[in-house]
Amino acid sequence: MQLYAKAVYYELLGDYPRGHRIKEVISILIKELRVKEFQEEVGAYTLSRYGDVEFSVEDSKEVVNVASQLTELLEEVYRIVKLG
């Protein structure tokens, strides 16, 4: 997801954001595009998931689902910004 977010950032803004954590990269993208609603969604998710935690099968399914939704949202942001 981090590399995908960087690719979207590059396509939209012509540069790569510095950083390796997905939260960091998305935060930079959000700042640049000023998409505050998305920042709240990602912030809540990442805060609830990061740390020393064991993941169940259900947690894994949820992570895949969120990654899929994030990909769709980044694609939509890309289309809106790129195509106006």
pLDDT score of 53: 57
pLDDT score of 31: 79
- Under the banding of pLDDT at 50, 70 and 90, the label for residue 3 is confident
In the chain, domain spans: 2-83
As a whole number of angstroms, the distance between CA 84 and CA 66 comes to 26
| Predicted confidence (pLDDT) at residue 77 exceeds the cutoff of 80 | yes
pLDDT score of 50: 66
Residue-wise pLDDT tens digits, 10-61: 888 888 888 778 888 888 877 777 765 665 666 667 667 665 556 677 877 7
CB 28 within 8 A of CB 19: yes
H/E element, 51:
none
On the CB side of 57, CA atoms within 13 Å amount to 0
Residue 14: which region, alpha, beta or left (left: phi > 0; alpha: psi -120 to 50)?
left
